[in-house]
Structure 1
Amino acid sequence: MDSKKSVFRFKQFKCSHVASSMKIGVDAVLLGAWADVNRAKSILDVGTGCGVIALMCAQRNPEANILAIDIDINSVKEASLNFMESQWRNRLNAELMNYMYLKDKKYDLIISNPPFFNSGVKDFSSARMVARHDSSLSPLLLLTKAKELLLHDGIVTMIVPFDRKTEVNNHAGREGFILSRCCEVKGNYNALPKRIMLEYRLNHNGPCLNEEMVIEQEPGTYTESYRQLCSDFYLAF
Structure 2
Amino acid sequence: MSRHKQVLPRNGFTFKQFFVAHDRCAMKVGTDGILLGAWAPVVNVSRILDIGTGSGLLALMLAQRTEGSAQIDAVELDADAAQQAGENVQASPWRERIQVHCADIQTWAGQQTRRYELIISNPPYFEKGVPCASAERELARYTATLDHDTLLACASQLITEEGFLCVVLPESVGGYFVQRALGQGWHLRFRTDVAEAEMKLPHRVLLGFSPTAGDLFSERLVIRGPDQRYSDAFCGLTRAFYLFM
State the TM bucket, normalised to the shorter chain: over 0.9
- 1:149 alignment partner in structure 2: 158
Q: Secondary structure in 1 aligned to 2:225? A: strand
The answer for the alignment partner of 1:99 in structure 2 is 105
What is the RMSD of the two structures over their aligned residues, measured on CA atoms?
1.7
Give me the whole-angstrom Cα distance separating, in 1, the residues matched to 2:75 and 2:130.
24
Which residue in the other structure is 2:93 paired with? 87
Cα deviation 1:80-127 (Å, max 9, x = unaligned): 011001111000111111111112232111100001221356898431
Contact preservation (8 Å) 2:125, 2:173: no
Does residue 27 of structure 1 match 2:32? yes
Which among 68, 73, 84 is matched to residue 74 of structure 2?
68
In the alignment, does 2:196 pair up with 1:202? no
| 2:59 is aligned with 1:51 | no
After TM superposition, give the deviation of residue 139 of structure 1 in Å: 3.0
Partner of 1:160: 169
For residue 130 of structure 1, the aligned residue among 125, 135, 139 is 139
The structure-2 alpha-carbon separation of the partners of 1:232 and 1:18, relative to structure 1 and needing over 3 Å to count, comes to same
1: CA distance, partners of 2:225 / 2:193: 16
Could you tell me which amino acid in structure 1 is paired with residue 231 of structure 2?
A: T
Deviation of the 1:153 alpha carbon: 1.1
Using the TM superposition, give the Cα deviation of residue 218 of structure 1 relative to its aligned residue in structure 2, in angstroms: 4.1
What amino acid sits opposite 1:24 in the alignment?
A: V
Distance in 1 of aligned mates of 2:104 and 2:154: 11
Please say if residues 21 and 72 of structure 1, whose CA atoms lie closer than 8 Å, have aligned partners that are also in contact: no
Which residue of 223, 228, 233 maps to 1:225? Answer: 233
Which blocks of at least 5 consecutive residues in structure 2 are unaligned?
A: 1-5
Q: For the residues of structure 2 that align with 1:133 and 1:56, how far apart are their CA atoms?
A: 24
Q: C-alpha separation between the residues in 1 aligned to 2:222 and 2:139?
A: 29
Q: Which amino acid aligns with 1:72?
A: D
**Cα distance in 2 for residues equivalent to 1:31 and 1:123:** 24
1:148/1:122 CA distance change after superposition, 3 Å = farther
Q: Distance in 2 between matches of 1:227 and 1:79?
A: 26
Alignment identity in percent?
Answer: 33
Give the partner amino acid of 1:226: F
Calculate the TM-score normalised by the size of structure 1.
Answer: 0.94
Distance in structure 1 (CA, Å) of the matches to 2:224 and 2:26: 27
Would the alpha carbon gap of residues 75 and 188 (structure 1) be closer, same or farther in structure 2, given more than 3 Å must change? same
Partner-residue secondary structure (3-state), 1:32: helix
Number of paired residues?
A: 236
- Say if 1:152 and 1:202, in contact at 8 Å, map to a contact too: yes
